[in-house]
Amino acid sequence: MVKELSKPARQPKAEPVIETISGLPLKSVYTAEDLKGWSYDKDLADPGQFPYTRGIHHNMYNGKLWTMRQFAGFGGPEETNARFKYLLSQGQTGLSTAFDLPTLMGYDSDHPKSHGEVGVCGVAIDSLEDVEILYRDIPLQDISTSMTINGPAAIIFCMFLANAQNRGVDLKLLNGTLQNDIFKEYIAQKTYLVPPRAGLRLIQDMMVFCTKEVPRWNTISVSGYHIREAGATAVQELAFTLADGFAYVDAGLAVGLKLDDFVPRLSFFFNAHIDFFEEIAKYRAARRIWAKRMRDHYGAKDERSLKLRFHTQTAGCSLTAPQPENNIIRTAIEALAGVLGGTQSLHTNSMDEVLGLPTEKAAHIALRTQQIIAHETGVANVVDPLAGSYYVEWLTNEMEKGANEYFKKIEEIGGVIAGIESGYFMKELSDSAYRFQQKLDSGERTFVGLTGFTEEAPGPKIDILKIGGEYQERQVNRIKALKARRDNEKVASTLSALKDVMRSDGNTFPLLLDAVKAYATMGEICDAMREVWGAYRENAVM
């Protein structure tokens, strides 16, 4: 008799691992049990009410839609001026200026390090003359203007102010935002100019000047966008950005500014990545954390100091070169997350940005994406329609909890500048980026068209905006002509006075303004800074 073989015991099927794109573990279902200890009054409240989790205004987009602010800049100031005017004619409601790499690094277009980069990733700006062309025929007092520049931010802003004054515009009427977030440059984007403490002094000097003279201007846009692009998780983006913001508050207080005089002019800039609910929770947590810290730690009395205002840009790092039309869909979903998260202004990436500068057609589609969300979907009709969702509220709480843990770590290592100098932030980002890449390489996470659902045959041909050497030639010729006709003795005098004040404890901003008005170039002014303060060299991250 043949003995019957016993069947192996059936193994329970392993539960699939569920997590956000940042790696936060999730359950399949969330219930009221996940919100134990959670309080509507303490953690949520109504829109427009402390701690502003549901939005900083009671009626949000019922009162006014977000500002549609498409990032634009390429070639010389003539080309970017034309793009600005085109976007405004198509319904854009605010300007956002992208500068080329030499400008971001503080070099003129005729510098050897600028060769091949002039006008390539943004507009080339060398002097006040370029800014005059850049904003020609645009009513500066009537439109909000944003400028994405950090190391030499004070210089470019002086050019903007000098241009406005030359046109007879009252500086107190100007409305806009200067990114001017030097901390995130050392942490993530790396277009720094001078060492951190000198860079912070430039920001402090500008805050003092603008609080009195340009009161409607946002002096710093504390930027998490580039931190996320460098590999951060959502929690790291949230925590490092707000930690930078707290450090700028401390810096303003250190130079004698009153909290409620300058904090309302700090704004924020966040990434909108592809994990829909994680991003929405991040924005809601950001408002809550900021409001609590401003009231309970700093003692803010003005409600405007408690309200975190932010701009959103869809994630460049989520775009793929293969099947670039898929990027339209990604951008639409990310933009929707920004809107449902309560953003005050929004940039939608163009489908071709992973290949080159946006073409006019691609920028047109990106702007129309915002307009369709605003006017066709109905999502702007109700304030914070996702509030009360067990999952959204739990995820918001997790974001807040994770950020607070990072705040403790940053405090333990001595603060933001100490974290930059020690390489702490850079190591955190590189570790997160490596973990995410491992998930892509293993197939644990799929990017459609890149790591899954790929196609052998090439897709439709995409036009790419290419920047040739003629832009550099024109900029170099313009610099030569400028230096030949300006008062070079006056330029030398203003630069000498600027260096003197940099060696003292005086305010550098008025001296920067004098140098700009004398038509000193970006490179000349930045060379003066490098001469006095030295150029920054990053420590290797071990």
The reply to whether 383 falls in a domain is yes
- Residue 124 sits in which domain range? 32-442
Q: What is the rounded CA–CA span in Å between residue 355 and residue 350?
A: 10
- Residue 492 CB partners (closer than 8 Å, separation 6+): none
pLDDT at 207 over 50: yes
Total domains in the fold of the chain: 1
Per-chain mean pLDDT for the chain: 94
Quick: pLDDT tens for 306-333: 999 999 999 999 999 999 999 999 999 9
pLDDT at 465 over 90: no
Q: What is the pLDDT of residue 1?
A: 45
Q: What is the rounded CA–CA span in Å between residue 499 and residue 493?
A: 10
The reply to whether 524 falls in a domain is no
Is it true that the peptide bond before 51 is cis, omega within 30 degrees of 0? yes
pLDDT band at 479 (very low <50, low <70, confident <90, very high): very high
The reply to whether 535 falls in a domain is no
Q: What is the pLDDT of residue 10?
A: 58
Is it true that the peptide bond before 47 is cis, omega within 30 degrees of 0? no
The reply to whether 458 falls in a domain is no
Q: What is the rounded CA–CA span in Å between residue 54 and residue 43?
A: 10
pLDDT at 5 over 60: no
The reply to whether 256 falls in a domain is yes
Q: Which helix (H) or strand (E) holds 384?
A: none
The reply to whether 525 falls in a domain is no
Q: What percent of the chain has pLDDT over 90?
A: 91
pLDDT at 305 over 50: yes
Q: What is the rounded CA–CA span in Å between residue 337 and residue 277?
A: 7
Is 483 within 8 Å of 455 (Cβ atoms)? no
Which two structure tokens, joined as six digits, stand for 243? 């930690």
pLDDT band at 456 (very low <50, low <70, confident <90, very high): confident
pLDDT band at 99 (very low <50, low <70, confident <90, very high): very high
Task: Give mean pLDDT, residues 268-282.
Answer: 98
Task: Give mean pLDDT, residues 245-255.
Answer: 98
Q: What percent of the chain has pLDDT over 70?
A: 96
Is 503 within 8 Å of 84 (Cβ atoms)? no
Quick one: CA dihedral 517, 179, 329, 368, positive or negative?
A: negative
Task: Give mean pLDDT, residues 133-147.
Answer: 95
The reply to whether 69 falls in a domain is yes
Buried b (16+ CB within 10 A) or exposed e, 294-310: bbeebebeebebbbbbb
Q: What is the pLDDT of residue 395?
A: 98
pLDDT at 368 over 80: yes
Compare 508 and 3 and report the one with higher pLDDT.
Answer: 508
Four-point Cα dihedral 436, 441, 443, 446, nearest 10: 60
Quick: pLDDT tens for 67-81: 999 888 999 999 999
Quick: pLDDT tens for 393-408: 999 999 999 999 999 9
Q: What is the rounded CA–CA span in Å between residue 26 and residue 18?
A: 5
Compare 107 and 463 and report the one with higher pLDDT.
Answer: 107
Q: What is the pLDDT of residue 16?
A: 67
pLDDT at 62 over 90: yes
Task: Give mean pLDDT, residues 282-290.
Answer: 98
pLDDT band at 2 (very low <50, low <70, confident <90, very high): very low
CATH number at residue 343: 3.20.20.240
Q: What is the pLDDT of residue 538?
A: 84
Task: Give mean pLDDT, residues 276-293.
Answer: 98
pLDDT at 229 over 60: yes
pLDDT at 460 over 80: no
Quick: pLDDT tens for 161-206: 999 999 999 999 999 999 999 999 999 999 999 999 999 999 999 9
User: What angle, 0 to 180 degrees and rounded to 10, lies between the N-to-C axes of helices 488-502 and 522-533?
Assistant: 30
Q: Taking CA 187 as the corner, what is the angle to CA 265 and CA 297, rounded to the nearest 5 degrees? A: 45
Q: What is the pLDDT of residue 463?
A: 85
The reply to whether 188 falls in a domain is yes
- Residue 379 CB partners (closer than 8 Å, separation 6+): 336, 339, 340, 373, 385
Task: Give mean pLDDT, residues 282-301.
Answer: 98
pLDDT at 213 over 90: yes
pLDDT band at 466 (very low <50, low <70, confident <90, very high): confident
